Amino acid sequence: MLARAGAELPTTRAVRREFTRRAIALDSIIDLAIGESSQLRYHSPTLQTAQHGLFAALDSWRCVATRLEQMPLDAARHEAETIRQGLPLQLRSPLEVAIPAAWTDDPVGLQRGYEDAARAMLALPAATPSLRLLADQTAKLLAGFADVFTGLALLVDAPGRPQQRGRGFRLSVPDFLPAQISAIRAFLAIGAVELLWVVTAWSSGAVALLFTAVLVLLFSPRGDASYAAAFTFTIGTIIGISFTATLKFAVLPNFESFAGLCAVIGLCMVPVGFGLARSRQPVVLSMLTAVGIGFVPLLQPANPMVYDTLQYYNTALALFVGSSAAALAFALLPPAVSVTTDAAPARFRAARS
């Protein structure tokens, strides 16, 4: 962007928004990783700092891009070139596409190089406030990437990385708004289904309430992908209701032995289990999960077998209402997407003063 300033400056707003979305999604990924590894739990502040470094870099990128777009072409070219000449040689040219391989090979060396570049940028003489702004924001971007490389060094167990001193405790809540919206959404969705249960005296209302609560809480951490996941689960529930009805009322009455019962159950559970184990498509996984979860409650295998269509469709309606209520809750009250931009490392915030 600095190299092309004053000529055909690329429009990077859409790219920054996509990067921001992916950086926000790291919240749930880091939480899941910490739950699986005691070592990562011990080093969780390092991962949080790395994520904050991404936000700091994105914020600085936005500031520099906005400033260069508003400046006259000649001034933008001159100040961008001044900033670029103040960077180390390896950072002056556009990055190559295969750069992630180099990042994992020597993240510690890159971290130190970016820290030195940030200090040099803070010390860069600036004749105008505009140039000072560009230099400070570039230093903030470099400092953010230095923190990213610190987290990357932890993940690849790079030799020579600095050891964490003391475990400590750090409460990291970038924004309370998404959690508050999730709580309000869960309260309204569960309350609406419970009100329907009480007013209609529905015998299967408890099942609908259970599915609503589970799905609303399960899909809330997925952010802007929550509605798509809930809607796909609802489609899977409809498919499961139709498939289970075929097995229960058309196939199962033709078998009276235990082996026949196992074969009929296997017609559903074996393909579903195979698909869950082999598929990597989120849509397919969500649909198969819905089919597998609803199959046994709908089939209700017992000895002797009961073929009560009214009971079946009553339970099926409860599953459909519960999954549909969850999808409708995400559609009416979508997750909030907000970013904390004051994420520059403290050592570089203090260096400027």
In sequence order, the 6+-apart residues with CB closer than 8 A to the CB of 335 are 178, 181, 182, 220, 223, 224, 226
Whether residue 219 sits in one domain with residue 100: no
pLDDT score of 344: 44
The CB-side HSE value for 286 (13 A sphere, CA atoms) comes to: 21
Whether residue 324 sits in one domain with residue 204: yes
Point out the domain boundary residue: 148, 167, 186: 167
Q: Report which of 352, 345, 344, 349 is spatially closest to residue 122, judged by C-alpha positions.
A: 352
Whether residue 143 sits in one domain with residue 106: yes
Q: Report which of 18, 17, 27 is spatially closest to residue 221, judged by C-alpha positions.
A: 27
pLDDT score of 343: 42
Whether residue 190 sits in one domain with residue 239: yes
3-state helix, strand, coil in the chain (%, to 5): 75, 0, 25
State the Cα–Cα distance between residues 314 and 197, nearest whole angstrom.
13
pLDDT score of 256: 83
Domain presence at residue 140: yes
Whether residue 121 sits in one domain with residue 202: no
Domain presence at residue 340: no
pLDDT score of 349: 47
CB 223 within 8 A of CB 185: no
Q: Report which of 265, 262, 212 is spatially closest to residue 237, judged by C-alpha positions.
A: 212
Whether residue 106 sits in one domain with residue 182: no
Q: Number of folded domains in the chain?
A: 2
Q: How confident is the model over 151-190, as pLDDT tens digits? A: 888 888 777 776 655 445 455 555 677 788 889 999 999 9
DSSP 45-107: HHHHHHHHHHHHHHHHHHHHHHHHHHS-HHHHHHHHHHHHHTS-HHHHSPPPTTHHHHHHH-H
DSSP letter assigned to residue 127? S
Domain presence at residue 337: no
**Torsion angles phi and psi, residue 142, rounded to 5:** -65, -40
Whether residue 147 sits in one domain with residue 204: no
Whether residue 321 sits in one domain with residue 208: yes
Whether residue 39 sits in one domain with residue 151: yes
Domain presence at residue 141: yes
Burial class (CB in 10 A: 0-12, 13-18, 19+), 167: exposed
pLDDT score of 347: 47
Domain presence at residue 172: no
Q: How confident is the model over 195-224, as pLDDT tens digits? A: 999 999 998 899 999 999 999 998 888 777
pLDDT score of 304: 82
Domain span at 39:
13-167
DSSP 22-52: HHHHHHHHHHHHHHH-HHHHHTHHHHHHHHH
**Residues of the chain below pLDDT 50:** 97-98, 166-167, 169, 338-353
